[in-house]
A and B are shown apart, each in its own frame.
Chain A
Amino acid sequence: MIVNSILLIALLCVALWAVMTRSLLRSAIALAIVSAVLTMLMFRLHSPLAAVFELSVCAGLIPVVFVSAITLTQPLSTKEVLQHMRERLTRFWYLPFIIVSSGIIFTFIHLSSKMPLPGAEVDKDVRILLWNIRPLDLIGQILILLIGAFGILIIFKEKKENE
């Protein structure tokens, strides 16, 4: 229980850092760390399947996409960096408050369920499991990936040519 709490707090801190940091690259790295911590939490909460997905997709694939997209952008000038650093604290002052207050609210909700959740059948092959039970979601994932590809194609490709 204590370990879980520590992990949760760490998760929040890293997430805050992701938002507050001045460099996009650091944000991306922070997001990857968030995913990694989340993966640990999921393992501890006995959902290995979700944990594996989180680790592979959110901590692995997405940061790669982010980092590759960030390399296409122009770095900020020193003056802008200073400006940004000044602003970020004032801009996001309410974020910690929101996090703390929502934490307090959630302690009042007793999520004590007697009903056991349908545990994932870990023993079976994941691919077959997905294909048989949730083919639609799989198709949805393909669609999302395609959209992401087109989005990057549209937004960034031309910019690079302009440079």
Chain B
Amino acid sequence: MLLSLLILIPLFSVLVLNLPPLLRRAKVSFYCALCFTLAQIALVFFCVFNPQSIVVNPFGSLLELDLSADSISFVVLLSIGITGFITLLVAKYFICEQQNEHNFVSVLFLALAGLNGIVLTSDIFTLYVFLEIAAAASFVLIVINRKKNALEAAFKYIVLSILATTMMLSSIALFLFIAGNTHFASIRAAFNYSSHDFLLILASGLFICGAFIKAGVVPFHGWLPEAYSESPAPVTVFLAGIVTKTLGIYTLIRIVNSVFGFLPAINNLLLFAGAVTITLGALGALAQNDFKRILAYSSISQIGYIVLALGSGTALGLSAALFHFFNHSIFKALLFVNSAATEAQTKTRNVEAMGGLQAKMPATAFTSVIASLSAAGVPPLAGFWSKLMIVIALVASGHPLYALVAVLASVLTLAYLLSLQRRVFFGTLNADCAQVVEARAGLVFAAVLLALITVGAGVFFPFVLNTFILPIEKIFAG
């Protein structure tokens, strides 16, 4: 199918870019990657508007890959493209040496291939393989600048990731045992006919827990704050923007929708885990003083929203989850770009050491306010619509208490994000920041671009709804 290009082009590019004539040409590989992310965005739009073109196989009978794409995949592929693009823009200023920049781009290519593979596959073992690719690539990305703290964070990430891998592999083994095959459809059939009730539950539980670790759902989130805050700025954008979400949340959504089906027990589990994650993530964010750490806890909390929406077990909940997925990857990437900008200019991540930066860095401050408001669900920004959809889905599926949690937690969200804004950008100018100037043009461009997407997706919500979100309801497998 046409979208197999999204896996093969990165692989091919990495091979070609590391051939002798192009080796160590960081600029070439950088622009190649930039073009690829743009091409991915374009391809997704092309496929959304020309659904019949998806099945075209560019390689003929030479290579037939068992891939499939639906509306869920499109949303995620689009997020991957956008976040990848932004990551590259940010990376320009944060990767120290040229050779490292070349390596960074190569590993990023591999990570993109892994992410795209996760999204496009319809076989649970292949899914696992690509999960590992993306995870391994992100370990390497975290330590790209060889800082001690980053190594430590990456190590914790690896340890917990291995636990997740173990769980997923055991689960896949059980599924293979029960269904005799690892294709989604066969396992789904096994859920209807098999007599191994307990094994199925065990396998589902293991897989869900694996996905929870990858996504950073409380209490599986221990690695996340450190990994986010200690990795270099572009990697944080990439990790927070798309990696953990695809690895954890997309996998969860895909498996629940295509394999498990929305069983009542799984729904209740997701609802509970979502509510706990939202609340504890937000509480964790309140107590932090480190810009990136606040955002990391906020990520945990927002991921809870997606899990909660999925747990409503309705078509609307599914599409709300996906829309929040997209929104979150945009506004969280934006916030991390802002944190990168302030960190680059003030050389600190401690919010107490900042203050009044709004006068010095107006564009950063303004875009960050937009992102915060979108995160807190203030109309007419995109975050408002997805939260509204989540709350409606919860109420409609008969879970008003969880809807209440979602609404109350969004007050907490507003509280910690506004207090962050106040401490960093508003108030009196900190004496240490008197010499600060606006961030580099590339960072400002990235921030403004993301802010425009956030505002645009909110204002043109009907278009987004009709093109991307509503088709998801059709593939809901209740």
Contacts and interface: CB of A to CB of B under 8 A. Distances in A.
Contacts of A139: 7-8, 11, 65, 117
Interface residues of B, number: 41
A151 B67 CA distance: 28
Nearest to B97: A158
A142 to B, nearest CB: 7
B394 interface: no
Contacts, number: 90
Contacts of B180: 115, 117-118
A135 B63 contact: yes
Given A117-B180, A139-B7, A154-B144, A111 B107 contact: no
Contacts of A111: 177, 199
Interface string B242-275: 0000000000000000000000000000000000
11 contacts: A109-B199, A113-B177, A115-B180, A136-B121, A136-B126, A139-B117, A143-B113, A147-B107, A150-B140, A151-B136, A151-B140
B14 to A, nearest CB: 6
A71 B404 CA distance: 57
Given A144-B133, A155-B146, 17 more contacts: A111-B199, A113-B177, A115-B180, A135-B66, A136-B121, A137-B125, A140-B126, A143-B11, A143-B113, A143-B114, A144-B132, A151-B139, A153-B103, A154-B100, A155-B140, A155-B143, A158-B146
Contacts of B475: none
Given A113-B178, A136-B65, A136-B117, A147 B125 contact: no
Interface string A90-134: 000000000000000000010101010110000000000000001
A141 interface: yes
Nearest to A118: B180
Interface of B: 7-8, 11, 14, 63-67, 100, 103, 106-107, 110, 113-114, 117, 121, 123, 125-126, 129-130, 132-133, 136-137, 139-140, 143-144, 146, 176-178, 180-181, 196, 198-199, 202
B133 A140 contact: yes
Which size class do A's interface residues fall under?
Answer: 20 to 34
Contact of B133 (A117, A135, A147, A158): A147
